[in-house]
Chains A and B, each alone.
Chain A
Amino acid sequence: MLEKRTNEPVVLKEAPPAYGVASDGDIDLSLLKDSLLKTPWERMQANDDALNFAESLREAMLKRHAKPK
């Protein structure tokens, strides 16, 4: 159950069963909402960051395949 206290942050007292993120079929509405809160520049920066992370993962996989067995 949730319990609100004055001057204290709301904390999860126990895990409710339906503990997922809002979604509409295939769309994660929480991600969409976050994206819409960003400026276009912030969205581009976030995209750059995601691409950089993706590139580091791809490089790590390539190195793994390059290792002699």
Chain B
Amino acid sequence: MQNLSELTRRLIAAQVEFVLVGGFAAVAHGVAMVTRDVDICCRFSEANLMRIQAAFEGLHPVHRSRPDMRLQLTPEQCASLKNLYLKTDLGVVDCLGEILGIGGFEDVLKNSVEVELPYGKLRIIDIQALIRAKEAMNRDHDRIAVKHLKEILNKQS
């Protein structure tokens, strides 16, 4: 059964270096839209990818594009992967190495804020960077989210 809080708790507990981006980051900033998958931008080093694999141990993680392929990373894969789209027993997690409009993990990290969840600290992409990312993606739901985010930003200033 889906449990996105538990998925996130596992990532934090495994000390994965990541920043929450995408739909749930928008929701965190106040956007009133429903989303299903957890999108994170993470460091695509071998150590960090192995932490992700360890975090999802026992949850039968598979590659979303090939559900018959379980997550079983090798050093060679870690060196070549840019993104990792995963499905687990607790939900879907998209791990992205870079964010369009922002850059790689370090750039996203610089443009993030820290919040305290009941199970640990979480970094979330900040609202200005999220607007830039969504403007760069420019899909239908991104454009709607940008409208929400800009309105929220106006109200905050």
**A positions within 8 Å CB-CB of B:** 2, 9-15, 19-22, 25-26, 28, 30-31, 34-35, 42, 45-47, 49-54, 56-58, 60-61, 63-64
Asked if A61 and B29 make an inter-chain contact with CB atoms under 8 angstroms apart, the answer reads: yes
Asked if A49 and B2 make an inter-chain contact with CB atoms under 8 angstroms apart, the answer reads: yes
**B positions within 8 Å CB-CB of A:** 1-5, 8, 20, 24, 27-30, 34-37, 63-66, 68-70, 72, 74, 76-77, 80-83, 85, 87, 91-92, 94, 113-118, 122, 124, 139-141
The binding surface of chain A is classed by DSSP as helix
Other CB < 8 Å A-B pairs besides A12-B77, A54-B27, 18 of them?
A10-B70, A12-B66, A19-B81, A21-B65, A22-B65, A26-B139, A26-B141, A45-B1, A50-B2, A51-B34, A53-B5, A56-B117, A57-B20, A58-B28, A61-B28, A61-B124, A64-B115, A64-B116
Shortest beta-carbon distance, B113 to chain A, in Å? 7
A35 and chain B: residue at smallest CB distance: B36
Task: Enumerate chain B residues within 8 angstroms of A56, measured Cβ to Cβ.
Answer: 5, 117-118
Given A10-B69, A53-B4, A61-B28, A31 contacting B34 (CB threshold 8 A): no
Asked if B28 and A11 make an inter-chain contact with CB atoms under 8 angstroms apart, the answer reads: no
Task: Enumerate chain B residues within 8 angstroms of A26, measured Cβ to Cβ.
Answer: 139-141
**Best-surrounded residue of A9, A28, A45, A53 (most CB of chain B within 10 A):** A53
A28–B5 CA distance with the chains assembled, in angstroms: 22
Q: Provide a sorted-by-A list of 17 A–B residue pairs whose CB atoms are within 8 angstroms.
A: A9-B70, A10-B68, A12-B77, A13-B74, A14-B74, A19-B65, A26-B140, A30-B87, A30-B92, A46-B1, A49-B4, A49-B91, A50-B34, A50-B35, A50-B36, A57-B117, A64-B114
